[in-house]
Chain A
């Protein structure tokens, strides 16, 4: 269910501040807009304000000051139930959202609240379970699943809502490589079908491979809002925000001084560039060796 193309941003955040009851100022004035169909990574150290920010997008938190508009409407004035139809949220800790004793019922909870019944409900739930590879556990107690499986169950319960926006807090932590790839493939596919995807992560390789835009949050402020490649050029800003360059980006930058370039951001592209450069150098050296005019003429 892609959002209607209204010409206005899907999410608009204006001078958002959030102060927790304990007195901690978690967000110190954030402004940004998100268009329908974007795939955005939110990065930053633990406690930077990533989760606090994204919880404002579906009304789990309300601004202390400032506003958050969803499709032009002030989220402070919309009931949470209505926000939940547009913005799905997958928590970092799956146990914060799983509460049924049968996995099917867990996944069916949201769609049931939307009024789905019968075959339509069953189809919705079963396709969500299939997407996260948990069909075999359909009638089991979610409590019996491993933490990684419970994380995918939590994702399925949000997938089943088919919301226009899906927010995920560290969707791949605790998942193995294949499971991570599988989750990201699901999100890419949803994004291709028009869903807006916003995911929080510490994994810079994930950002490099899957995000079109990255928001770097540090100390409650939006420090950088750019495509991943541009973020990776600002190593200083990254490290001072507690993050690291992904290894391929770091290698690429260090090798750039030697004429190596890889726009694809993969080790294969780097290796190909090194091979080309290496053969150019070999050709030049053999020309120099065979040149009768002396070294000076060849420089």
Chain B
């Protein structure tokens, strides 16, 4: 069942001669884990803003086409542009690259309560909602901590918990790990993976580096100058190293190894029927190499 249907979406920022997005068509199923990638300026953030309603609700510009949300209101399928911002906030949660920029409260539990209060959640329910959101993000122990004392990875999980408390069906994240260290990155990605697998939350994430996300996601969407250049499951899109090179997106090392093994003459072409699947992790790349020895 589609959760989001994007139809012929074109968007231009004011005073810009070329559109940031051009005739984009994309259907996202409920419960999918989607990674949107591409070089700077390819339109990743703009596409996310069209999905979470920042465009057109807060960002001026010229919008054509539609982003349809399924079941965002009791009346069924509606365009994002016609759902009010508070209504959208309950349906789609947004997390940005800089956790500092979105945390407003001095104490973690107040940060989680902030969104609940703003959307008029019954105070009697609040305690449970806060506890559950923190538990789902693996940070129950941080509930009474000062937000200023947290590491980047902890802050980003607080930011995710704050939007999660509103029980969204969809999470939209713009480079949520770009400022985090490897431990923090791993913790945040683990939370996203579990929210997707255990709670069926649709995850849409924009990211420059896809190495860590490839094994977690269902589909990769590569953007080039506002258009979709390539999309599909990671093992399918990684068949096209030249497109990655052309778009300025790094192909992850395990996939590069598979292509190098073809070049070295020990693997058949990766699109041939007897070729092994392209490895996504170091573990898979190791197993593949091991089989050749």
With both beta carbons as reference points, the residue of chain B lying nearest to A178 in the complex is identified as B248
A272 CA to B262 CA, complexed, in Å: 10
- Interface check B175, CB cutoff 8 A: yes
Q: Is the interface of B mostly helix, strand, loop or mixed?
A: loop
- Interface check A47, CB cutoff 8 A: yes
Are the C-beta atoms of A174 and B178 separated by less than 8 Å? yes
With both beta carbons as reference points, the residue of chain A lying nearest to B250 in the complex is identified as A177
Are the C-beta atoms of A46 and B289 separated by less than 8 Å? no
**Residues B19-69 near A (CB distance < 8 A):** 38-41
Q: How far is the CB of B269 from chain A (nearest CB, A)?
A: 14
A251 CA to B284 CA, complexed, in Å: 10
**Contact residues in A for B254 (Cβ distance below 8 Å):** 247, 251
Are the C-beta atoms of A271 and B263 separated by less than 8 Å? yes
A45 CA to B180 CA, complexed, in Å: 9
Partner of B261, one of A147, A149, A179, A274: A274
With most chain A CB atoms within 10 A of its CB, the pick from B211, B254, B263, B282 is B282
**Residues B46-99 near A (CB distance < 8 A):** 97
**Contact residues in A for B260 (Cβ distance below 8 Å):** 267-268, 270-272
Query: A262-275 toward B: CB 8 Å interface, digit per residue (1/0)?
Result: 00000110111011
- Interface check A260, CB cutoff 8 A: yes
**Residues B152-188 near A (CB distance < 8 A):** 152-153, 175, 178-185
Partner of A247, one of B175, B265, B282, B289: B282
- Interface check A127, CB cutoff 8 A: no
**Contact residues in A for B290 (Cβ distance below 8 Å):** 255, 258
**Residues A210-229 near B (CB distance < 8 A):** none
- Interface check A250, CB cutoff 8 A: yes
Are the C-beta atoms of B292 and A176 separated by less than 8 Å? no
Are the C-beta atoms of B182 and A243 separated by less than 8 Å? yes
**Contact residues in A for B249 (Cβ distance below 8 Å):** 176-177
Q: How far is the CB of B92 from chain A (nearest CB, A)?
A: 22
Are the C-beta atoms of A267 and B289 separated by less than 8 Å? no
Q: How far is the CB of A278 from chain B (nearest CB, A)?
A: 5
Are the C-beta atoms of B293 and A277 separated by less than 8 Å? yes
Are the C-beta atoms of B208 and A177 separated by less than 8 Å? yes
- Interface check B256, CB cutoff 8 A: yes
Q: Is the interface of A mostly helix, strand, loop or mixed?
A: helix
Partner of A274, one of B184, B211, B266: B266
- Interface check A175, CB cutoff 8 A: yes
- Interface check B243, CB cutoff 8 A: no
Given A176-B39, A251-B257, A251-B282, CB of A274 within 8 Å of CB of B252:
no
**Residues B249-293 near A (CB distance < 8 A):** 249-250, 252-254, 256-257, 260-261, 263-266, 282, 285-286, 289-290, 292-293
Are the C-beta atoms of A46 and B184 separated by less than 8 Å? yes
- Interface check A102, CB cutoff 8 A: no
A258 CA to B289 CA, complexed, in Å: 10
Partner of A175, one of B40, B181, B261, B266: B40
- Interface check A254, CB cutoff 8 A: yes
Are the C-beta atoms of B293 and A46 separated by less than 8 Å? no
Query: A138-169 toward B: CB 8 Å interface, digit per residue (1/0)?
Result: 00000000111100000000000000000000
A176 CA to B249 CA, complexed, in Å: 7
Q: How far is the CB of B247 from chain A (nearest CB, A)?
A: 9
A270 CA to B41 CA, complexed, in Å: 34
**Contact residues in A for B41 (Cβ distance below 8 Å):** 146
Are the C-beta atoms of B286 and A274 separated by less than 8 Å? no
A64 CA to B54 CA, complexed, in Å: 47
Q: How far is the CB of B233 from chain A (nearest CB, A)?
A: 20
- Interface check A14, CB cutoff 8 A: no
Partner of B293, one of A147, A205, A272, A278: A278
**Residues A72-93 near B (CB distance < 8 A):** 92
- Interface check B18, CB cutoff 8 A: no
- Interface check A248, CB cutoff 8 A: yes
- Interface check B105, CB cutoff 8 A: no
Are the C-beta atoms of B40 and A271 separated by less than 8 Å? no
Q: How far is the CB of B69 from chain A (nearest CB, A)?
A: 27
**Contact residues in B for A15 (Cβ distance below 8 Å):** none
Are the C-beta atoms of B264 and A247 separated by less than 8 Å? no
- Interface check B119, CB cutoff 8 A: no
Are the C-beta atoms of B178 and A247 separated by less than 8 Å? no
Are the C-beta atoms of B286 and A255 separated by less than 8 Å? yes
**Contact residues in A for B250 (Cβ distance below 8 Å):** 177
Are the C-beta atoms of B180 and A46 separated by less than 8 Å? yes
Chosen A-B contacts, 18 in total, with CB atoms closer than 8 Å, are: A45-B182, A45-B183, A146-B40, A149-B40, A173-B178, A174-B97, A174-B175, A176-B39, A176-B249, A202-B181, A202-B182, A242-B182, A254-B282, A254-B286, A267-B256, A270-B257, A271-B263, A278-B293
New A-B pairs, 7, CB < 8 Å, besides A274-B266, A274-B292: A45-B184, A174-B175, A175-B40, A179-B40, A248-B253, A259-B293, A275-B264
Q: 3 nearest interchain CB pairs?
A: A271-B260, A178-B248, A275-B264
